[in-house]
Amino acid sequence: MKLKKVFVILMILSLCIFSFCSCSDKNSEDASSLDTSITGTWTESRYNSGFTFNEDGTGFDIFWELPFTYSTSSDETDESKTLTITYDDETYGSAIYTYEINGSTLSMGLKDENAIYDYEKDE
Distance of CA 22 to the CA centre of its chain: 22
d(CA 35, CA 99): 11
How many percent of the chain have pLDDT more than 70?
A: 74
Domain boundaries, the chain: 28-121
Give the HSE-up count for residue 104: Cα atoms under 13 Å, Cβ half-sphere: 7
Number of neighbouring beta carbons within 10 Å of residue 57: 19
The CATH class for the domain spanning 28-121 reads: mainly beta
* Displacement of CA 74 from its chain's centroid (Å): 13
pTM: 0.71
pLDDT tens-digit series, residues 50-92? 999 999 999 999 999 999 999 999 887 777 899 999 999 988 8
- pLDDT tens readout for residues 36-47: 999 999 999 888
